[in-house]
């Protein structure tokens, strides 16, 4: 199924609420490679898969008091300050499809305010454990 990227949002799984005013969501999977190159490798690099990790990055407009049930930057700042583990879903808001689900901590939270532009923020949540998929 091919779908519009606007239908893929970052949600706080504990509350079921989306992060307000999202512009983009990126999900990254990484595997650290273990170098097992030796003299018998005949000049070629050889690797084995090692530790795997994931991260979710969300860019959104700053809204200190979002309307409705959306969660704004203040909830993310609170989670960051409390070093709280977050359960996140990457899901379609129009139906029950949850594309990814996992636990993580806010690794970085950056507010960007240029001259005569909208104020945005970028949050990166680095996973702890694995990222489940249900599709």
CATH of residue 13's domain is 2.40.30.200
Q: Which domain holds residue 61?
A: 5-133
Q: What pLDDT does residue 57 have?
A: 94
Q: What pLDDT does residue 44 have?
A: 96
Q: What pLDDT does residue 80 have?
A: 93
Q: What pLDDT does residue 92 have?
A: 80
Rounded Cα–Cα distance for residues 101 and 106 (Å): 15
**pLDDT by residue (tens digit) across 24-72?**
999 999 999 999 999 999 999 999 999 999 999 999 998 777 665 567 7
Split into its structural domains, the chain has a count of: 1
Q: What pLDDT does residue 129 have?
A: 94
Q: Are the C-beta atoms of 117 and 87 separated by less than 8 Å?
A: no
Cβ atoms < 10 Å from Cβ of 29: 11
- pLDDT band of residue 135 (cuts 50, 70, 90) is low
């Amino acid at each position: 199924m091919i779908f519009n990227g606007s239908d893929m949002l970052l949600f706080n799984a504990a509350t079921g609420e989306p992060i307000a005013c999202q512009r983009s969501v990126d999900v990254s999977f990484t595997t650290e490679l273990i170098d097992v190159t030796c003299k018998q490798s005949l000049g070629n690099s050889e690797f084995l898969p090692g530790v795997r990790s994931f991260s979710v990055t969300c860019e959104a407009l700053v809204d200190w008091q979002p309307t409705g049930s959306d969660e704004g930057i203040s909830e993310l700042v609170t989670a960051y300050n409390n070093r709280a583990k977050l359960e996140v879903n990457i899901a379609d808001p129009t139906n029950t499809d949850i594309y990814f689900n996992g636990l993580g901590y806010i690794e970085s939270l950056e507010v960007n305010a240029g001259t005569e532009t909208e104020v945005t923020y970028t949050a990166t949540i680095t996973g702890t454990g694995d990222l489940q998929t249900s599709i």
